[in-house]
Amino acid sequence: MKFDESAATLEGLWDVIRKYQGRSFLTKKGLPFTYTVRGGELFTDRRERSITRSTFEKAYEKLLADRCGENPPEKIVGPKTLNVYGAPYVWAVFVGIGLIRDEKYLQQELEL
């Protein structure tokens, strides 16, 4: 897994996520989904509950800390290691927008 900080900043992350609503994404297990954004919440077509903007920001900050070697022994290597609500969807969106490059991932990166 490679983290590409140039794909989005913490301040611009939500704007990038909003930009890609309605497009198709795949979870790491290959389950397709789309999402819509309403205010500070992301709603997927596969779940009834939302994932909040703050959850995405928390996951982003964890990626930054991991990149800087600040996370103790457990490295971020996939959705579960993000340890946030809706991690499979957060991971898929991050891969889709180019924030994470995961060589073992099924989804192709979306063009910006």
Q: Among 6-15, 38-47, 62-71, 72-81, which range has the highest average pLDDT?
A: 38-47
- In this predicted structure, the answer to whether residue 106 has a pLDDT above a threshold of 80 is no
Q: How confident is the model at residue 7 (pLDDT cuts 50, 70, 90)?
A: confident
**Which one-letter amino acid corresponds to residue 15?**
D
What is the tens place of the pLDDT at every residue in 24-71? Answer: 999 988 899 999 999 999 999 998 889 999 999 999 999 988 877 665
CB 28 within 8 A of CB 105: yes
Taking alpha carbons only, the member of 22, 26, 27 closest to residue 38 is 22
Question: For residues 18 and 29, what is the distance between their CA atoms, to the nearest angstrom?
Answer: 23
CB 37 within 8 A of CB 21: yes
Average pLDDT, the chain: 86
